[in-house]
Every structure is written in structure tokens, then in C-alpha cells.
Amino acid sequence: MKGKFIVLEGIDGCGKTTQINELYKWLPKSGLINKNRTLIKTREPGGSFLGKEIRDMILNNNKLNSPSILTELLLYSADRAEHISKVILPALQNGHWIISDRFSGSTLAYQGYGREISIDIIKKLENIVCQNIKPDLTIFLEISPEESILRRKNKVADRIESEGLDFLKKVNHGFKLIALENNWEIIKASEDLTSIADQIQKLLINKFSLNK
């Protein structure tokens, strides 16, 4: 039996990590996952052994040695290829469940709409990288770029987070278009943590309940 692949997407600080941690506590008790299967919590970039090194390379805030935008795209793609081959694909083939903080939608939003690399090129690259793997469910946590910046004001920004408001606006616009085009579930993530967690749980029950 194939496992399930669930992805949370959104701009920086929208609450993906917070909600994935909530899901990671709730899902094993939910009755949705078969008893002999496990739940894997992962992220991009950095979900594989090699990916951790790629993550450091991409997010390192050394302005003098920033990668070109094409190199940046290829590094995110290399991270994803490794993540899929070594973590996601084997887990799904063995019936396990995966929740991932970001996936290919982030590349379309950040490198496509944010950096303005051709969407067509990114989609072609993703076809190679993703090896026919598609999430069973993607949830877009939607907050405004202004709120994103406010939420992260006490945190040291990584290289991508340092791009500022205008960049974030382009990425957010991209995420909204991608979400509509791909029928992602959209949740207003400016609400309180518990209400968002409840909405995510309801979505999963509706989609994956064995009684349906």
C-alpha cells in the first residue's frame, strides 16, 4: 500500500514549522495511519543527508559569495532530487506517511515568481526532479508579506529571508496563483495557532479517513 505525502507551503514565517510540529503530535493518534506504518517529518531544503549541506550552501547569508539565480535554482532542485530519491520515494513505497515543510511549489513561487526565472523552465526541471512524485495534499498557509516580516523581526534572517518586502510580495502573489491552479487547500494563517491546527486536522480527516 502506498503511503501519503502531505506538504505545507507559504511565505517565510507563515507558521509551517509550528503546524507541522502540531501535525506530528496529532497524526499518530488520529487513527488515519495504519498501525504498522510510521510518520516522517521532513523539510526542503535539507531533508536528506546531502540536502543538509545544500541547505547550508543556499541559505548562508554571505553576500559576497551569493549564488547566481540559476545556481540557486539548481541547488534547490538538487536538494529535492536527493530528498525524493533517498527519503520520500522509499518511504511512500513502504506505505509510510510524510509531512514536508515545503516542496516543489516553493521553487515555482520563490525562483519563478520571486526571482523571475522562466516558469516553463522551472516546470520542465521539476518534471525531471520529481520522478512522478506528487503530494496527496498541499496546504497553503496564507499570511500577508507584512505579517511575515513582523513575525520574524527577532530572528536572524537567512539569505532568502533578507530579500525584503518587494520580493516577498512577488513570492506571495506566486503562491496564490499556484495554489488556485493546483487546487491546494488554502488556510488563513493569521488566525491563532489552535484554530489553524483544527482546520488542518479536519482537512486530513475529510481527505484520508478510511470510512469515507
Q: Which residues bind ligand T5A (CB under 6 A)?
A: 10, 12-18, 44-45, 76, 101-102, 106-107, 110-111, 151-152, 160-161, 189, 192-193, 196
C-beta of 37 vs 186, nearer to ligand T5A: 186
- Closest contact distance (angstroms) between CB of 35 and ligand T5A is 29
Query: Which SS3 state, helix, strand or coil, does residue 20 take?
Result: helix
The answer to whether the beta carbons of residues 27 and 137 sit under 8 Å apart is: no
Q: In what order do the strands lie in the sheet with 5-9?
A: 39-43, 97-101, 5-9, 137-142, 185-188
C-beta of 97 vs 167, nearer to ligand T5A: 167
- Closest contact distance (angstroms) between CB of 210 and ligand T5A is 30
Alpha-carbon gap, residue 107 to 79, rounded angstroms: 11
Alpha-carbon gap, residue 138 to 71, rounded angstroms: 26
Residue 9 pairs in a beta bridge with: 140
C-beta of 106 vs 138, nearer to ligand T5A: 106
C-beta of 48 vs 107, nearer to ligand T5A: 107
- Closest contact distance (angstroms) between CB of 53 and ligand T5A is 15
- Closest contact distance (angstroms) between CB of 199 and ligand T5A is 11
C-beta of 97 vs 140, nearer to ligand T5A: 140
- Closest contact distance (angstroms) between CB of 34 and ligand T5A is 28
Q: Which three cell numbers stand for residue 64?
A: 559576497
Instruction: Let me know the angle formed at the C-alpha of 187 by 182 and 188, rounded to the nearest 5 degrees.
Output: 130
